[in-house]
């Protein structure tokens, strides 16, 4: 692969295509944009013109059949991910698919099986917090024991979506098309980060409701998780909030940390709580030494470069320092190196498994044990759960 740039195709030209296209374009030595496909021809054409793809088409199979495409980004709604990812793998293309990995664990396992059949293909899922230095720093501080044993985490994902967000796209916020509501679409990033920080979940429980949003699935869920080793976490997720808040608080035996900022943040805050300022400073210093802060995207130098591009009437391509940028870069580098993928299928499945456990608990009113396999009632999705032949077996009295 060395010396050759990778031909890139993108399937799905909605909101998120921009972040993929700009991240690839920031690395012209590694990648070139070849084609974009969207079932909506206007969107495909608009993306071609806006981001500089060589071609646009309406059928992803046309894109997968091209010899000059080595890798594809899949940026379509979650309900279509598994079929498209499996098709791309079978066509021999490396795949970077947006979160969530799929809408059901059955679909996720189809992807795992396809990736196992094609070990030479790199398959990865977009969980950009995994590439963020602040999240990596906190993970390192926990693993190295700087906070003492991690005891309790508190996750808060609160935002307000306008009703039009759900009304504008058929199936948005539905079980079939999106796989659920706030948990699987918004809080999935924090679930993934929680697993990365706290370890393997073993039990979970939740309650959920659809209070105000015009959607089929939940707009609010409250829950708790127990991890291997006994640590606990509470979850508070809603798209009905007045005040936006994204945070993961971790209480350790000796010190705590509050990680704030949404997945789009250019900068995350990570105040440390410890007894005495010396202890606090020592933890901060160790963390920053292990995982330095990335260059500030709003620095004077960055603003100057942006202004110069504007004066020269050139498009401004931000460097890959935050959000999708470093994540897409790691995907490309993993292709060049022959692996491993930044978030391989088994890793992408973990947050979906936890989301499924929370949904199953809320639906059945029970505490759900993990891991979840094909015997889980929600394995094939919420619509299958309700079908009479998959109804839970009554307990004999």
CB atoms within 10 A of CB 177: 17
User: What CA–CA distance (Å, rounded) separates 331 from 342?
Assistant: 6
* CA atoms within a 13 Å half-sphere pointing along the CA-CB vector of 189: 25
Closest CA to 8 of 94, 82, 69: 69
CB atoms within 10 A of CB 187: 30
**Closer Cβ to ligand NAD, 287 or 325, answer by number:** 325
- The alpha carbon of 316 is separated from its chain's Cα centroid by a whole number of angstroms, namely 26
CB of 27 to ligand NAD, least distance (A): 18
Tally DSSP H helices, then E strands, for the chain.
15, 14
CB of 183 to ligand NAD, least distance (A): 12
Phi, psi of 7 (to 5 degrees): -80, 130
**Closer Cβ to ligand NAD, 186 or 220, answer by number:** 186
SS3 106: helix
CB of 46 to ligand NAD, least distance (A): 10
Closest CA to 362 of 378, 373, 347: 378
**Closer Cβ to ligand NAD, 7 or 9, answer by number:** 9
CB of 192 to ligand NAD, least distance (A): 10
Q: Select the residue whose beta carbon is closest to ligand NAD and give its number.
A: 14
Q: Which two tokens stand for residue 386?
A: 């309700």
- Which residues sit at the interface with ligand NAD, rule CB under 6 A? 11-16, 37-40, 43, 60, 75-78, 80, 98-99, 126, 128, 169, 185, 263
Q: Hey, CA dihedral for 163, 323, 221, 243, is it positive or negative?
A: negative
CB of 38 to ligand NAD, least distance (A): 4
**Closer Cβ to ligand NAD, 190 or 284, answer by number:** 190
Closest CA to 76 of 47, 54, 49: 47
CB of 372 to ligand NAD, least distance (A): 21
**Closer Cβ to ligand NAD, 115 or 343, answer by number:** 343
Strand partners for 8: 33, 71
CB of 99 to ligand NAD, least distance (A): 5
**Closer Cβ to ligand NAD, 40 or 386, answer by number:** 40
Phi, psi of 209 (to 5 degrees): -155, 160
**Closer Cβ to ligand NAD, 12 or 181, answer by number:** 12
**Closer Cβ to ligand NAD, 32 or 60, answer by number:** 60
CB of 146 to ligand NAD, least distance (A): 29
**DSSP structural state of residue 5:** P
């Amino acid at each position: 692969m060395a010396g050759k740039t990778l031909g890139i195709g993108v399937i799905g030209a909605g909101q998120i295509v921009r972040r993929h296209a700009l991240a690839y374009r920031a690395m012209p030595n590694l990648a070139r944009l070849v084609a974009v496909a969207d079932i909506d021809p206007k969107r495909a054409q608009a993306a071609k013109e806006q981001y500089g793809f060589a071609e646009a088409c309406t059928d992803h199979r046309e894109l997968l059949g091209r010899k000059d495409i080595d890798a594809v980004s899949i940026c379509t709604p979650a309900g279509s991910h598994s079929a498209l990812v499996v098709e791309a793998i079978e066509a021999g293309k490396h795949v970077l698919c947006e979160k969530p990995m799929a809408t059901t664990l059955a679909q996720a396992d189809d992807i795992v099986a396809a990736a196992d059949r094609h070990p030479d293909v790199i398959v990865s899922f977009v969980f950009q917090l995994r590439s963020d230095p602040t999240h990596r720093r906190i993970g390192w501080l926990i693993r190295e024991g700087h906070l003492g044993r991690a005891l309790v985490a508190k996750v808060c994902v609160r935002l307000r979506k306008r009703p039009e967000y759900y009304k504008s796209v058929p199936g948005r916020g539905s079980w079939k098309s999106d796989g659920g509501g706030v948990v699987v679409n918004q809080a999935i990033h924090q679930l993934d980060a929680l697993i990365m920080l706290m370890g393997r979940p073993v039990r979970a429980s939740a309650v959920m409701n659809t209070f105000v949003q015009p959607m089929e699935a939940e707009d609010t869920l409250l829950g708790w998780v127990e991890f291997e080793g006994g640590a606990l976490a509470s979850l508070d997720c809603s798209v009905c909030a007045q005040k936006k808040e994204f945070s993961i608080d971790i209480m350790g035996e000796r010190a705590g940390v509050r990680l704030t900022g949404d997945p789009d943040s250019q900068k995350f805050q990570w105040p440390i709580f410890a007894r005495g300022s010396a202890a606090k400073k020592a933890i901060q210093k160790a963390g920053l030494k292990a995982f330095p802060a990335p260059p500030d995207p709003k620095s004077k130098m960055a603003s100057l470069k942006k202004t110069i591009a504007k004066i020269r009437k050139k498009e401004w391509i931000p460097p890959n320092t935050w959000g999708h940028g470093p994540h897409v870069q790691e995907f490309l580098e993993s292709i060049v190196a022959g692996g491993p993928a930044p978030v391989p299928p088994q890793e992408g499945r973990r947050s979906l498994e936890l989301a499924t456990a929370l949904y199953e608990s809320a639906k059945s009113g029970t505490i759900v044990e993990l891991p979840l396999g094909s015997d889980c009632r929600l394995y094939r999705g919420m619509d299958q759960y309700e079908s009479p032949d998959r109804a839970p077996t009554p307990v004999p009295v």
